[in-house]
Amino acid sequence: MREINAALITDTVSRLAVEANCLLPGDVKRRIEEARASEPWPTACGILDKMIENYGIAERDLVPICQDTGMCCVFLKIGQDVHIAGDLKEAVDEGVRKGYTEGYLRKSVVKDPLRRVNTGDNTPAMLYTEIVPGDKLEITVAPKGFGSENMSGLAMLKPSDGIEGVKAFILKAVEEAGPNPCPPVIVGVGIGGTFDKAAYLAKKALMRSTDERNPDTFYAELEAEMLDKINSLGVGPQGLGGKTTALAVNIEQMPTHIAGLPVAVNINCHVTRHKTAVL
């Protein structure tokens, strides 16, 4: 049994929160630059140029890429041979608290959804845990802005709706989102499980590199088809037209009940932020 002190988790979450807000993942930068190279619409080209300039400044000066520094989603893969010395949830929240305070990141979390009083430190984190073999702890911090989060959707389709029903729901979600999630977007899709699991899968899909396709050829082909259909909508960068509405479509799937076909869509803006460390 390997022991990991909670203080190390706090320090790691704090560092990742700042890095995720300031350093865009390399794969996302490549997708934006590829979009710029293939974009014929001058207005869209100008917007993509500004996006490239923006993430360059953020990386150079270590300042946030976007003013909405998000609600911290923290994904933990906990090795079954790991013992956490201390309170795991409090260690993660303290890391968010420290990172957002010392990194001068905007604090956007309210204590109660109806009474709307700010917590003042961007806690609590939205914590997702997974038990895996081994003696390592993998931490992914993903600040989620709500311009894109608000465009999410979930449908409990009938099995008879089949693949065409799934395609129609994904396309409808992105089309109705329009310019609101600051396109070009990355679209996370969860298919299967239960009501809550489908939503989790959609968010988890956004953590996958855009360089990686679903290992199941059937779903990899569906990802490619939906990317083409979404980009045919003509929404374009920032909703002002163009051929690039989405940079990628990532689909995650799991078994479900014979009577159900849950489908969730979680959209991320072009500032698709996440950083990972392994302890």
* Residue pLDDT, tens place only, 245-277: 999 999 999 999 999 999 999 999 999 999 999
Using pLDDT thresholds of 50, 70 and 90, give the confidence band for residue 132. Answer: very high
Last residue of one domain, picked from the residues 115, 144, 173: 144
Same domain, 16 and 138: yes
| Average confidence (pLDDT) over 165-172 | 98
In a domain, residue 239? The reply is: yes
* Residue pLDDT, tens place only, 197-241: 999 999 999 999 999 999 999 999 999 999 999 999 999 999 999
Q: With beta carbons less than 8 A apart as the criterion, state whether 236 and 24 touch.
A: no
pLDDT at 14: 98
Same domain, 113 and 217: no
Q: Which two tokens stand for residue 119?
A: 């917590």
* Number of Cβ within a 10 Å radius of residue 24: 24
Same domain, 99 and 120: yes
Last residue of one domain, picked from the residues 144, 162, 183: 144
pLDDT at 185: 98
Range of the domain at 82: 2-20+65-144
Rounded CA separation 103/10 (Å)? 14
pLDDT at 79: 98
Same domain, 106 and 209: no
Same domain, 267 and 241: yes
In a domain, residue 56? The reply is: no
In a domain, residue 84? The reply is: yes
Q: Is the pTM of this model over 0.75?
A: yes
Same domain, 236 and 267: yes
In a domain, residue 49? The reply is: no
In a domain, residue 52? The reply is: no
Same domain, 181 and 106: no
Same domain, 134 and 11: yes
Same domain, 118 and 216: no
In a domain, residue 261? The reply is: yes
User: What's the structural domain count of the chain?
Assistant: 2
Same domain, 132 and 8: yes
pLDDT at 269: 96
Same domain, 139 and 163: no
* Residue pLDDT, tens place only, 51-99: 999 999 999 999 999 999 999 999 999 999 999 999 999 999 999 999 9
The mean pLDDT value of the chain amounts to 97
Same domain, 231 and 104: no
* Residue pLDDT, tens place only, 38-61: 999 999 999 999 999 999 999 999
